[in-house]
Structure 1
């Protein structure tokens, strides 16, 4: 089974469920960029609950741009802010110190384009999870893909999935379980058990 997903900023758990449970993965890189999606946004569990981290981009709705052509607005100090947010949210998690060094290139190197950044993000995460995934980038946009399971709707911020099985999160006692956050939430809390957890889940779109 081949899955088709978008490359996003620290993809959520549903995205990585698709990666883990597919025989191969195609990354959609041939469409027009759309705002209000997870292309440049991820959600983590902060001390006050769900916290959104957004990569600023230079984009105007008036002139359509291909995803690959959208630039990051690097005049804002977003990388430092996001790193500090992750440290504040997860420094007390069991596996934060184990994985944070792998992620540091995403905060130390300046990227010009959001797609290049997201592709690097995906590569680092799959390496951290020790997955043998060799994703294939699309060369043309298909509205109705052939021979692929289409998970591209997961990129929409209003897409909902059936709640995955709860696992222990840093602030569970304070705010309860928050489902389908960034894969980082699962990785920092479950570590090497992440792949097994994902294989046990069932993805149901609501």
Structure 2
């Protein structure tokens, strides 16, 4: 069955589990933007435990905006901060050097809209993961979608998903296993085994 899901900033493991185990993926692009979600946030494993990387956006709750119309606040050099955080967290991981060059465009090229940026993140990750996923987009917003499995709730930070199978993380000995982080945590630690891992998991 098709999977209906939000495009997010460097999606977490749960998002990819939903996508690789579906026949095709439909991105929800007709919704109103909601603050404090994974639309502009990803979580990595730093030296002190879970760490959030957030893309700053220009958005006010007073005037509802469509997700596709929300702009990135590029006043501060947030991309450099995110890159340095990834380097600090994963430079000692087995596959960091193998994949980081493919990802550099995300931290060097300026993007104006968060939805466009998230689409680009996904395209880059598909290439890195060597995944073939059929993608389309919504044409209108449906509260109850037809003929699609609705995974849109995964975008909410407080949505509870299963704890996934453990794999070795850089700081496992210090803080233990942390489930459902950014797909980059899995990719940098598991490399080519990432796709097989994703297909074995359930949400």
- Superposition TM-score, scaled by structure 1 size: 0.98
Counterpart Cα distance in 1 of 2:97 and 2:160 = 31
Structure 1 regions of 5+ residues with no counterpart?
none
- Structure 1 runs, 4 residues or longer, greater than 6 Å off: none
Match of 1:25 in 2: 25
CA drift at 1:134: 2.7
Match of 1:158 in 2: 158
> 1:17-50: CA deviations, max 9, x gaps?
0111011000011111000100000000000000
Counterpart Cα distance in 2 of 1:113 and 1:201 = 32
Match of 2:64 in 1: 64
Counterpart Cα distance in 1 of 2:152 and 2:202 = 17
Counterpart Cα distance in 2 of 1:99 and 1:19 = 21
Match of 2:192 in 1: 192
State whether structure 2 residue 55 is matched by structure 1 residue 55: yes
Structure 2 regions of 5+ residues with no counterpart?
none
How do residues 1-206 of structure 1 correspond to structure 2 at under 5 angstroms?
A: 1-203=1-203
- Superposition TM-score, scaled by structure 2 size: 0.99
> What RMSD in Å do the two structures reach over aligned CA positions?
0.5
Counterpart Cα distance in 2 of 1:54 and 1:45 = 14
Counterpart Cα distance in 1 of 2:198 and 2:31 = 28
CA drift at 1:132: 1.0
The number of equivalent residue pairs is 203
For the residue of structure 1 that corresponds to 2:42, the secondary structure is strand
CA drift at 1:160: 1.1
> 1:142-165: CA deviations, max 9, x gaps?
110000000000000001111001
